[in-house]
Structure 1
């Protein structure tokens, strides 16, 4: 708990004067004022987040964290839990969507096993931080203990710290893999926003009508049985969350504490982002929302956090794919600030 407390204590509000000063610089570039729209907004925010007048986003890293979910035994997903491990191996081979897009922009993908049900084979590119072999079925009781929830968050903090010490990081993106993880994400969304489960629950990987109805009922049952407390974000994570979600909470908080901009991907990553912001509201100003997911609950999360998505590409893959694409656009805005000629 000390590691989490220390990280939260390090998070400070951004300095709004840096936003103003950077806008003046942008207005003096060889273009009409404001003509590069959101690219200018990206540049301003990066300066304010990093406290660097001429920031560089060369070292781009995506943290893709994997974990399984006991609630899949309720039949809420179109795929079996075994696919989680198969996809982790795909990440390690460089064959997944996030790998392709990361290569496209020169980003590094760091793959973490936070709670995959299967014992994965060791690999030089795999960080194994398994808290347990999947969460418990939250339709019958808490997904994890409070201690495990804190451990998941603190493990996320650790992996960011280790990566910073090893190679340095300029910008972070969040990604995940876990069959069934839209189910806990919908539960988290409903608890924090107060919206009915039906309004924040989508079809995940493409489930049929019967499975969709079952998924909604399972989430309602989980909330009724576990009674997660929205005033206590760790309680919500422990009751209806996931190990990879907790890990991503830690990734977000560690990024913010180190003044590193963080780009959250889609629905699951945003559920983690929401928990991070509930733990430390000041974290919001360090977060970029990559895209608007097809998952219906995603919009409710972004509205709760007061974030606007950079893109709307009708994506719902996860893994960090949307974060990679948005990260490249943020970098473009920074390069406009640093490289475009001025009227001076």
Structure 2
């Protein structure tokens, strides 16, 4: 095996770089025009555990509403959560706001240009710090995301399964990471994994490192990187109550600030527990006299567990009847509420029972 040559990858990137809204494309003769660190940071936070296709619309919306870091720092957290709704992993949105506040308060509104200081900021871990340092400031840094893990595992035929192989993957990635054009190289590695060295059907014949790769064209290339067997997700159960008013508005409340989906909006409901039980009596008598239970539960899978929700719908006994710390969201307003995906599923399932249809 010949050592993968970074120059070959950079030359490929110069011709095949993806066009992305947060990216400055490669420049002629290897010159580098540095992107806005705010846009790099925002995109990297959004892209965690999510796809480029899912992020593009959110990124455009965020940068339109909050064009600069200072604008985001001045924003209301609830507005940020509403804008983030549907993107998932909502602690990222809270850390996004906390990080913007910290950069403005402690760094004069300018991101630090090195990994050590970047890692001190809320929501920025090892990968994100390296990515910002390399892409936004052209600092030499080893940037290892899921795409890079796949590329490196195949290049060196690393048979130890993830996550145990990560230290070795980083060691091998360090061997091929140059000091020259580190920002472009980091993005080239990401693009190679996203467009050529794909999970299921890599196009080895188009790869600039084909001759250096130990698994190129092998029948088992798609088996790299190896992965440890997944443990089964436990199932949790709960009951939710979709309460409508005669005008079609729906009753919502805010989840606790800390914990899963912290600070997001939801319809009232029970705790999510390991045991299946319908607890309609805990909420039902308080605001509606007649309830309808949907025939099918709503299901949603989180990272660490699967959730099954029984859904009850009803119409409030009296107009404008309220409960402390709850509010009525109109037909028009509910689309803009900070509702996580699981709650939007609940409301969609209950929609046929909304008054006035």
Structure 1 length-normalised TM: 0.28
Structure with bigger RCO (C-alpha 8 Å, 6+ apart): 1
Instruction: Please identify which structure carries the higher helix content.
Output: 1
Higher Rg of the two aligned structures = 2
